[in-house]
Amino acid sequence: NCADGQPATCDPLEGAEANDLPDDTYIDSNCDGVDGDISQAIFVDETNGDDNNPGTITEPRRTMGAGLNAALEQGKGEVYVSTGYYPESLTLQSGVSIYGLYSAAAGWGRAPGNTVTLSGGTTAVSAQDIVEPTVLEGLVIKRVNAGKPGKSGVGMHAVNSSELILRRLTV
């Protein structure tokens, strides 16, 4: 059981339980050091990342958008985002999940107190034609004020996205 961080010894779970997707228990079931699968993920850290980095755990991207693009380019299905403030708009892509609640400063540990805030544009998050399972989890999403009287802003807008899974979000 690899709960509570990486212990001195770790016994990977077997069978279906070995599929280490980020989950509510924060268990590292494949013993790679994070809740999730390092080999399937792009890492994003607004504090120490750089959008020219490959997006690895040691060389994360800086923005969620660059992380999403790297996942598409590298054929990966997950983006792990470290605590911080991300002033950008995001357009989700079918089949690429984005998980917050990580802390790069704490060895990419995942916990409910690790706040990830996305705030940008008059529509902060857009999703269209999400036809493959795509998770958006563990974020605080804020839209930027439209700036003109009578104009509105939208936290999240999704169209034709039956496979979009929203968990633990504040919008």
pLDDT tens for 119-157 read 988 899 999 999 999 999 999 999 876 566 667 788 999
Look at residue 26 in the predicted model and tell me its pLDDT. Answer: 87
The predicted structure's pLDDT at residue 4? 55
CB neighbour list of residue 40: distance below 8 Å, 6 or more residues apart: 76, 77, 78
Mean per-residue pLDDT, 78-107: 97
Q: What pLDDT sits at residue 139?
A: 97
Structure confidence at residue 40 as a pLDDT band (50, 70, 90)? very high
Tell whether the torsion through CA atoms of 163, 87, 143 and 139 is positive or negative: positive
Distance CA 52, CA 142 (A): 26
Helix (H, G, I), strand (E, B) or coil at 2: coil
Model confidence at 106: pLDDT above 80 = yes
pLDDT tens figures, 55-77: 999 999 999 999 999 999 999 99
Cα(124)–Cα(170) distance, integer angstroms: 12
Q: What is the pTM of this model?
A: 0.88
Confidence (pLDDT) at 1: 45
Q: Rounded to an integer, what is the distance from CA 84 to the centroid of its chain?
A: 12
pLDDT band per the 50, 70, 90 thresholds, residue 18: low
Q: What is the pLDDT of residue 29?
A: 81
Q: Which of 4, 93, 79 is nearest to 44 (CA)?
A: 79
